[in-house]
Chain A
Amino acid sequence: MTEQDLEAHFEETIARDRRIEPRDWIPDRYRATVIRQIAQHAHSEIIGMQPEGNWITRAPSLRRKAILLAKVQDEAGHGMYLYSAAETLGADRADLTDKLISGRQKYSSIFNYPTLSYADVGVIGWLVDGAAICNQVPLCRSSYGPYARAMIRICKEESFHQRQGYELLMTMMRGSKAQRDMVQGATDRFWWPSLMMFGPPDAASPNTEQSMRWGIKRHTNDELRQRFVDMTVPQADRLGVTLPDPELRWNEARGHYDFGAVDWDEFKAVVSGNGPCNAQRVAKREAAHADGAWVREAAVAHAAKHQGQDHQTAESERMRLTPEATHD
């Protein structure tokens, strides 16, 4: 087949809203864009362990500690699902980690904000994971099959993340004045950065059109941001906190909430490395990777030592796994 035939076949698959699978021919630009999208998402999950991981040792009860551990473990798992999906496009996992550490690939700007109080754990579950769910549910229909399947798995697990956060906040709101103030303070600090998670406004998002045509993005940034605001306002009311936006009000004509202008200068500063915690997050990731080097080396040495042994038992192992194979 000529390149034109291959490209036509690719375009037809996209036009029919069918999934692209790993070994299909794809244009270089599609491959590069999807790798960048998945890698950025994977890095966000991995870096996203840090702000909340900060509170594991200081969780107020064994129940809360177990929940937080499980949640942070999920974030690690989500990162792994996504690196696995990126590898189906020919990316190399170690290379992606290098690119994260050296700043050549980005992660979500939200994880560059500090977690100053325990209420932040609840607000991250409620707002940050809530925004992530808004972003991610449509990606379960990404044109790239392995990414879409990873997203289905991730979205199921994110639901626990959001609910544990909201439940935590409801518990604190039933507590002392100091606890209620902590919830309000955390909401004040995370509201605007959560709105920034959807990315720049549509007018300043030049890649959106191509990404939507390829089916790797299903809604624009502003559509998703509006959806998130509409979903969240009643949750804030029920919780009894005030969202820090004086312009936030229901617009009967539009059938949506109006909200104030996002500070895009702050967003740009944080994305380009000047947020409160950028350097700390990357340094910690780099240290964790370096500290794990001896474990990876030891595992390889152990595997090499036992390889001969494994070959001897391979046959009986195979028979144990698939007894039906012994009948032919």
Chain B
Amino acid sequence: MTDQGWPLYEVFLRGKRGLNHVHVGSLHAADPEMALHHARDLYTRRNEGVSIWVVRASDITASSPDEKDPFFKPSGDKVYRHPTFYDIPDDVPHM
């Protein structure tokens, strides 16, 4: 068992105010607080972040790659959701 049972945490960083948290990697820690400290030491040694989220990897539910096509299919045939679907004459201003 990894590190005597330390669970895996996924780490998300906000690079600066105004940006989303982005996944940067993972680490093992005994508890969430230790995961935050380790994430700071490991992923922000050069001021790469102003905020960190850590999430137990086992708490993440992800879409399965095997279902990829059917799962994302509902949006595939809805071209009318894109502005380019609509023909507007060139002489209509500000459109």
Question: By the criterion CB–CB under 8 Å, are B27 and A84 in contact?
Answer: yes
CB distance from A99 to the nearest CB of B (A): 14
A288 contacts the other chain (Cβ, under 8 Å)? no
Chain A residues touching B, range: 35 or more
Minimum CB distance partner of B7 in chain A: A303
Chain B residue with the shortest CB-CB distance to A6: B66
List B contacts of A77 (CB < 8 A): 42, 45
The 8 A CB mask of B1-16 against A (1 = contact, 0 = none) is 1111110100000000
The answer to whether B30 and A299 have CB atoms under 8 Å apart is yes
Say yes or no for B64: interface residue by CB 8 A criterion. yes
Interface size class of B (residues with CB under 8 A): 20 to 34
Q: Is the interface of B mostly helix, strand, loop or mixed?
A: mixed
B65 within 8 A of A: yes
Beyond A24-B65, A25-B65, A94-B1, is A74–B45 a contact (Cβ under 8 Å)?
yes
Which B residues lie within 8 Å of A84 (CB)? 25-27
Give bound CA distance, A85 to B8, whole Å: 12
Q: B49 interface residue, CB < 8 Å from A?
A: no
Which residue of B3, B42, B64, B65 contacts A296 across the interface (Cβ within 8 Å)?
B3
A141 to B42, CA, bound (A): 23
Chain A residues with Cβ below 8 Å from B45 are 70, 73-74, 77
Is A327 positioned at the interface, with any CB of B under 8 Å from its CB?
no
CB–CB B28/A303 < 8 A:
no
State A121–B1 Cα separation when bound (angstroms): 36
**Could you mark each residue 63-96 of chain A with 1 if its beta carbon is under 8 Å from any beta carbon of chain B, else 0?**
0000000100110010011001101100011110
Asked if B34 and A93 sit within 8 Å, CB to CB, the answer is no
Interface residues of A, dominant DSSP: helix
Chain A residues with Cβ below 8 Å from B65 are 21, 23-25
A163 to chain B, nearest CB (A): 14
Which residue of A has the minimal Cβ distance to B34?
Answer: A299
In the complex with contacts A24-B65, A73-B45, A77-B45, A303-B25 CB distance below 8 A: no
A310 within 8 A of B: yes
Is B30 a contact partner of A23 (Cβ separation < 8 A)? no
Q: In the assembly, what is the distance between CA of A240 and CA of B6, in Å?
A: 51
Q: Tell me whether A80 and B3 are in contact (CB under 8 A).
A: no
Residue in contact with B64 in the complex, picked from A23, A150, A303, CB distance below 8 Å: A23
Contact of B8 among A24, A80, A87, A300 (CB under 8 A): A87
Taking CB atoms, residues of chain B closer than 8 Å to A306 are: 31
In the complex, what's the smallest C-beta–C-beta distance from A9 to chain B, in angstroms? Answer: 9
- The 0/1 profile, CB within 8 Å of B marked 1, for residues 142-158 of chain A is 00001001100100010
Cβ-defined contact, B42 with A303, below 8 A:
no
Contact with A along B28-54 (1 / 0, CB 8 A): 111110100000001001100000010
Minimum CB–CB distance for A30 against chain B, Å: 15
Q: Tell which of B6, B25, B62 touches A81, judged by Cβ atoms closer than 8 Å.
A: B25
Q: How far is the CA of A1 from the CA of B67 in the complex (A)?
A: 10
> Which A residue sits closest to B45, measured CB to CB?
A77
Binding site for B on A (CB under 8 A): 1, 21, 23-25, 70, 73-74, 77, 80-81, 84-85, 87-88, 92-95, 146, 149-150, 153, 157, 293, 296-297, 299-300, 302-303, 306-307, 310, 321
A-B contacts, 26 listed (Cβ < 8 Å): A21-B65, A23-B64, A23-B65, A25-B65, A25-B66, A70-B45, A80-B27, A84-B25, A87-B26, A88-B26, A93-B2, A93-B3, A94-B3, A95-B2, A149-B25, A150-B25, A153-B24, A157-B46, A299-B6, A299-B30, A299-B31, A300-B5, A300-B6, A300-B30, A302-B30, A310-B31
The 4 closest A-B pairs by CB, nearest first: A299-B30, A303-B31, A303-B30, A84-B25
The interface of chain B, by Cβ under 8 A from chain A, is: 1-6, 8, 24-32, 34, 42, 45-46, 53, 62, 64-66
Q: A23-B65, A296-B3 are in contact. List 7 more A-B contacts (CB 8 A).
A: A1-B66, A24-B65, A25-B65, A293-B4, A297-B4, A303-B30, A307-B31
